[in-house]
Structure 1
């Protein structure tokens, strides 16, 4: 970053915000700490760090899982009885569990209680449960399909706000002709629709 500031000195006096999502919950705070340490040690380089932005950060897997339950309870999405039972049953925290790929070891009872909390929080049943709803807790769940999107039934919703409960929303959005035109996509007029690389 010092080299970058040397190359683009106009940015040196600007406010600096560090941002990231997911695993950035680890490296963004560490980078911020390194920059602040550098500010203390160096008389030449001063990073004008003003803040951090972390979106759905991965901190420690078990802590993150329990934080979801705390959030549900704070928003009155689950009752105190279920909340207290989960806190009692799921109280073990493995401080070394940093990666989302590491399987969290919960008791069967804890897993069942957490799943019950997900269902209660989103007022749904196991058949209609979708983990994507976790990213959209303040909006009602979608009942529409990609076909409804393609037929234009949900275009206003998708074009005016993020529709997090529809798993193919990005695929739909990037196939809208006005969107492709705006970012100069599909310049060769492909005969097939653009498709995302993961579900």
Structure 2
């Protein structure tokens, strides 16, 4: 990922360089803690846990401590959720390990599916990161009760995540009182506000700050199905992906009021046919046609390897990796899977803009360009009362995957409570 120079700068970490064996398991306060194969002794402490949330219910989480430790260092939780395709979105189902190993964690999986490379723009450069697999059944998380799979929903997910956070802080009290932020993307547009509300409500009920929540950040948020569908069709049209006639047919036949008539569905289907076979997460990226021969990929306007998710999936399905993570201890037969900016057509920027119009917030700081550390325009930002909206230029649905340096600049500004730099 990144430019050729950036890729060359990353230090390759192989089993031969750091020893073929995974670090030995150690235990801390009753939680199994290990380091992943090919990771040992390469960065500040990183810990994987299989953590009991409730009876029979377990979550997998990964903590990456910040490179420079201080008693006031921020703690941040990252929850990665689903990419949805309107109008029939099926709900959450993506693993936070995708966010960790494709976007903002300290390592990427190499093409050999066995070794790892350092991520120069990992977010644990500026904050302690905690990646949570949620709800039960996502990624490596699981439950001993089938009812936890059949009756899951946004409310129960928020309640379980809150229970996890409280238990986690009890077991690791050194993090209590630190400033806490929640970040995520896509269906995190539902999960993150509900978890934040649960935290604030319980702080009020308990008359104490159980979790010192200071802010939330959601990338390419999925907020409302009707708004997202309408915005996606408009995005297609404004990016010359569908015809004027089809766009007009959608406008004339779709009311976007939770009801889709036959004519509306026909028009939307025609729009999907016209746009062709593209990666909706990044409309300018190429597909991974053969992960076993990445050098044969079609040319792309980006420097992103379109097969990266397949390398990660292969790595996380290696038995030695799962043993190190204390994952899949029940021996499930199905393999681990991840999930079924402004160049994102899944939750396009138009959807966020339409949602902001609905909120009708007061503008405190007008729309302007912001700049990343490379002195290039990183995107655009506008500050509303109580909310900041920022775009990342040239980024797809998983913003840090496509623009890691710009994403880190934006994240750092968010932690500091500042607008991104002018």
With the shorter chain as reference, the TM-score category is: 0.5 to 0.7
Of 247, 264, 289, which residue of structure 2 is paired with 1:83? 247
Of 296, 302, 306, which residue of structure 2 is paired with 1:153? 296
In the aligned structure 1, how far is the partner of 2:208 from the partner of 2:248?
Answer: 53
* Residue pairs, 1:1-199, within 5 angstroms: 1-11=165-175, 12-19=177-184, 21-22=186-187, 24-45=188-209, 46-54=211-219, 57=222, 59-75=223-239, 77-78=241-242, 82-94=246-258, 106-120=260-274, 122=275, 124=276, 129=277, 133-139=279-285, 141-142=286-287, 145-146=289-290, 149-150=292-293, 152-154=295-297, 161-163=304-306, 170-171=309-310, 185=318
Instruction: Give the superposed CA RMSD.
Output: 4.1
In the aligned structure 2, how far is the partner of 1:112 from the partner of 1:156?
Answer: 33
In the aligned structure 2, how far is the partner of 1:184 from the partner of 1:93?
Answer: 42
In the aligned structure 2, how far is the partner of 1:75 from the partner of 1:36?
Answer: 40
Alpha-carbon deviation of 1:89?
0.9
In the aligned structure 2, how far is the partner of 1:14 from the partner of 1:21?
Answer: 24
Higher-RCO chain (CA-CA 8 Å, sequence separation at least 6): 2
Structure 1, unaligned runs of 5 or more:
95-104, 189-194
> 2:179, 2:214 within 8 Å by CA — same for their partners in 1?
no
In the aligned structure 1, how far is the partner of 2:318 from the partner of 2:268?
Answer: 42
Quick check: which one's strand share is greater? 2
Alpha-carbon deviation of 1:86?
1.2
DSSP-derived class of the 1:29 partner:
helix
Q: What is the TM-score normalised by the length of structure 1?
A: 0.55
Alpha-carbon deviation of 1:91?
0.6
In the aligned structure 2, how far is the partner of 1:29 from the partner of 1:151?
Answer: 39
In the aligned structure 1, how far is the partner of 2:251 from the partner of 2:218?
Answer: 28
DSSP-derived class of the 2:295 partner:
coil
Between Structure 1 and Structure 2, how many residues are aligned?
158
In the aligned structure 2, how far is the partner of 1:84 from the partner of 1:155?
Answer: 33
> 1:18, 1:32 within 8 Å by CA — same for their partners in 2?
no
> 1:16, 1:50 within 8 Å by CA — same for their partners in 2?
yes
In the aligned structure 2, how far is the partner of 1:154 from the partner of 1:170?
Answer: 14
